[in-house]
A = this chain, B = another copy of it.
Amino acid sequence: MELSVRVKTGDKIRLHDIDPGFRAGLDKEQAAESVAELGAKLGDLTNLLYAAGTHSLLVVLQGRDTSGKDGLIRRFLTYINAQSCRVASFKQPTSEELAHDYLWRIHAQAPARGSIALFNRSHYEDVLVVRVHGLVTTATCRQRFVQINAFEELMHRHGTVIVKLMLHISDDEQKERLLEREADPTKSWKLDIADWEERKRWPEYEKAYEEAMSHCSPAHAPWRIVPADRKWFRDLAALSALVEALEPHRDGWMKALEARGREQIRLLAEYRAKEGAGAGTK
């Protein structure tokens, strides 16, 4: 069963028709077991990715404020091979970043072979927030869709597995979470009056998201819309998407590692034979 909505380029998406509270008939307890299983698999797969060194993983997280991007990253980090993983948060660009094309700062954070990058927001902000605020035209956004597709294809061909997750929460759930932040002194630092302002623009964001996802979902880098009103279901669906994207590489990585292992053993045997011979002639 699909836990998230996988987009294909050209799909007409209506976020409004996708239930942010979807839970696939599961409850939290049932999910916990699957989450643990998937987490273990993810740990295993990312260890292989690191050791094999032939591929990399890029996870792109987008979603409105309070949709759970930080929470999901924390969840990922409990399972993922830590020494190969880097989190990159793309906030408002600095003046140095603005002086370059919008993909410059993104490309700089692309994961090297054997490693993982978790993007908290991304180049998609350059067709979302800037569009909603009228900083770029629709025509520019459409050019950017083409540029983004070219950029992601470049990474894909280099061996980067790309998983793009749009965390989808309802208006009510967002309101509740914003109010929670006010009430909780450990969370209130995250408060920003702008969040309430941005809330009003959600219908415009929705349209911008829909168009971006519909243009930028090739088979090798599809968007997935993750129902995120329930944090446990968000984690389950997101972990499932990552495992699904990595799993097809498992055999190849295993074979590469086994071949390398055999070669090391062969070299070691050679070395020992020489050492032995050397000792004999001393």
- State A101–B107 Cα separation when bound (angstroms): 10
Return chain B residues, CB-CB under 8 Å to A115. 99
Identify 26 residue pairs between A and B in the complex whose beta-carbon atoms are under 8 Å apart, listed by A's number.
A53-B99, A96-B112, A99-B112, A99-B114, A99-B115, A100-B110, A100-B158, A101-B154, A101-B155, A101-B157, A101-B158, A101-B160, A103-B154, A104-B108, A104-B110, A107-B107, A107-B108, A108-B108, A143-B157, A146-B150, A147-B150, A147-B153, A147-B154, A150-B151, A150-B154, A151-B154
- Inter-chain CA distance A155–B100, complex, in Å, is 8
A131 interface residue per 8 A CB criterion: no
With A147-B154, A150-B147, A150-B150 as contacts: A107 and B103 at CB distance below 8 Å: yes
Q: Could you mark each residue 43-60 of chain A with 1 if its beta carbon is under 8 Å from any beta carbon of chain B, else 0? A: 000000000010000000
Smallest CB separation, A81 vs chain B (Å): 16
Asked if A6 is at the interface (CB within 8 A of a chain B CB), the reply is: no
**Which residues in chain A, 137-174, are within 8 Å of chain B measured between CB atoms?**
143, 146-147, 150-151, 153-155, 157-158, 160
Residues in chain A within 8 A of chain B (CB atoms): 53, 96, 99-104, 107-108, 110, 112-115, 143, 146-147, 150-151, 153-155, 157-158, 160
Closest-by-CB residue of B relative to A112 is: B99
**13 additional contacts, CB 8 Å, given A96-B112, A101-B154?**
A53-B99, A99-B113, A100-B112, A100-B113, A101-B155, A101-B157, A101-B158, A103-B107, A104-B107, A104-B108, A107-B108, A147-B154, A150-B150
Q: Nearest chain-B residue to A103 (Cβ)?
A: B154
Q: Which 7 A-B pairs have the closest CB atoms?
A: A99-B112, A150-B150, A101-B158, A99-B113, A107-B107, A147-B154, A101-B154
In this complex, the member of A108, A112, A115 whose beta carbon has the largest number of chain B beta carbons within 10 angstroms is A112
> Which among B53, B101, B102, B110 is the interface contact of A101 at CB below 8 angstroms?
B110
Q: Which residues of chain B are within 8 angstroms of A155 by Cβ–Cβ distance?
A: 101
